[in-house]
Structure 1
Amino acid sequence: MEIDDLVAMFEQAPGGKEEMSSARQWLSSSLDECDQGTLKSLRLKAGLSQSILAQKIGLQQPNICAFETGKRKPEYKTAQKLAQSLNVTVDGIYKAFDKNKAR
């Protein structure tokens, strides 16, 4: 069983989506200082998986992974959607991307 299948199974259980979201938020607050302010930490703080964030903004999960690892910079329209979904500014998205890229 793959991790995505396991997460999907947990999320389908009664109350599972809320518990997984809460777990992601807890994980975000537990990241060490060098991971704070990255796209990953912003996503986890919002309680979202890469897959859920991708669905919200009309992309595939590998795109989110590429943004989080600094391999691909989001275009402005995508950055706007990310900002709205993660409750930050577009500038905040690009700063987080630059932090990912620098790592």
Structure 2
Amino acid sequence: MRFCIANHSKLISVSKVYEYLKSLRLKCSKSTLIKYLEFSKEVFFLLPVEIFFLLNKGEKALPKKLYIVDNGLINSLHQEEFLGKLIENTVAIELLREERGIDVHYW
């Protein structure tokens, strides 16, 4: 999760997380990572945003942008965070709130 927080508002793929963990000599399968990311979404820790396509062909395999629901978690780990990324994270989370009913994608 630290990797996801450190890379919030950036393009993230399961392969990228897998390679990061592998570089730390930690063993974890890609299917386990997918489950962890899904669980993180279910408990409202992070919210993924998919790329915008007019055709939904192959959209699931592309990297997603991950937004962390609580900016305080970002601030607690990264004191030198760029203000632009924090604002992007805040706006994305506000747009993704369920009561708004808006589909959010990145371009």
TM-score (norm 2): 0.29
Highest RCO, 1 vs 2 (Cα 8 Å, sep ≥ 6): 2
The structure with the greater share of residues assigned to strand is 2
When Rg is computed on C-alpha atoms for both structures, the one with the higher figure is: 2
